[in-house]
Amino acid sequence: MFDRIRALLHRLNEVREVSALTDRDLHDLGLSREQVLQFLEMPDDISDRVTAMGAIFGVPLADLKRDHAQWIDLLTTCGHCADRAACSQVLGSAHPQPADCGFCGNRHSFADLALQPH
């Protein structure tokens, strides 16, 4: 019970910090206030999952992050995914392949990025 209260207080502090961000701060981040609040609700491992899944498709991290808006879209799609169990299974397998990722909402984006020159 104490851990739940601590987590709630931590969340309230994070929301207060986001509320305190100026429009300039948000512009510098390249995010809206709503997007930042949505990211607070996402699991902590989203960036790692997107990076790992991109690697399965042969897309290096630099290419995933090259276009900031696309990076945010990839994170958002991953953050709203209902197939975390399937994702965990693929990411935990010995030799995952793009064909194993039919459930992934970002699979078409990863495939398109893989075709672009690095």
Minimum mean pLDDT range among 7-16, 18-27, 88-97, 109-118: 7-16
Q: Domain limits of the chain?
A: 1-41, 44-118
Model pLDDT for residues 35-88, shown as the tens digit of each residue:
888 877 778 899 999 999 999 999 999 999 999 899 999 999 998 899 999 999
Chain centroid, CA 78 distance in Å? 5
